[in-house]
Amino acid sequence: MRSNDGIMIHKYYEGPPQIINLSTEIGRLIGVVDATHLRKPQTELRKKNKVKTIRASLAIEGNTLSEDQITAIIEHKRVVGPSKDIKEVENAIQAYDNLTNFDAFSKESYLEAHKLLMSGLVDMPGQFRTGSVGVIQGDRIAHLAPPGWNVDNLMTNLFTYLKEGEDNLIIKSCVFHYEMEFIHPFMEGNGRMGRLWQTVILMRANPVFEYLPIEQEIKKSQEEYYNVLSQCDKEGLSTKFVEYLLGKIKLSLAELVDTQRENFTDIERLNYFLDQINIGAFTRKEYLRMFPKISTATATRDLRKGVEEGILTRKGSDRLATYQKK
């Protein structure tokens, strides 16, 4: 709950089973990422995901440029489009190119990121607002942010939570995203800053988050994104928003693993399969169901290698053989 001036007087969120379950599933997927060396995806995939991230985050704010146009700007090619949209993309490219240079726990670094994102678009980029601001939906005020005089104090408290809170960084990133949107510390650029800084925080949890287009999952459910924000405003806790964002993080990780598993080595395929299934003995046919693009001969070699490496035990022979984790 909050007082009328926006000061937090209780905890940021509650931890229902859904949050615990999603956190566990995300941890499992990160384990797959680490075990299969997906922390830094292939160069082409990283480039595509960067474009998807920028496109999705800016499209939420009304930017009209396509992925092809954003790719052209990255490649320093001429693009025809609204000058404001082009400037937004150019700024976002700079900001996302500097992800590894930002300090997730530094308010000053956070302000520098806003300066990069909003330079040439607003009067005072990189500075907290001092005036009042509200979010308008239709003909009503959907959210009246805390007064400008209290913004710096609220953001200082939020960064203190980020540095000293007991939650893991993945949950902290979700809480920060919501609380920042509630505070609305800038006159413009709050939404894109919330999404950018969540990525910066997540990168502290695992480097793979630099290359995950979580913003694209948010864009796909944009209406739900705003509805959950509104619901949390009414409840005074970020719990529902934390659940929502954890779900999007899980989806992004699962998609990365699915995209990249075609490039797994034999042992990586085996470990991934064993991590996914919840059965005892299995057959080559069941193994092939998870990897439909590999040949029967490749599946046979994988399973034989698993036996040789002491990962699997085998009973029977040829097509009737069954395997089990050792």
Contact 89, 81 (CB under 8 A): no
- Show pLDDT as tens, one digit a residue, over the chain (326 residues): 344 444 443 456 666 778 889 999 999 888 888 876 666 666 677 788 899 999 999 999 999 999 999 999 999 999 999 999 999 999 999 999 999 999 999 999 999 999 999 999 998 999 999 987 766 666 666 567 788 899 999 999 999 999 988 889 999 999 999 999 999 999 999 999 999 999 999 999 998 898 888 999 999 998 898 889 888 888 888 899 999 999 999 999 988 887 777 777 888 888 878 877 777 889 999 898 888 888 999 999 999 999 999 999 999 877 789 999 88
Which neighbouring-strand residues pair with 283?
Answer: 322
Radius of gyration of the chain (CA): 23
Which neighbouring-strand residues pair with 230?
Answer: none
What are 3's two structure tokens?
A: 């007082």
Separation CA 26–CA 144 (nearest Å): 34
Helix (H, G, I), strand (E, B) or coil at 127: coil
Separation CA 115–CA 110 (nearest Å): 9
pTM of the model: 0.80
Domains, the chain, ordered by start: 17-261 (1.10.3290.10), 264-325 (1.10.10.10)
What are 272's two structure tokens?
A: 């991934």
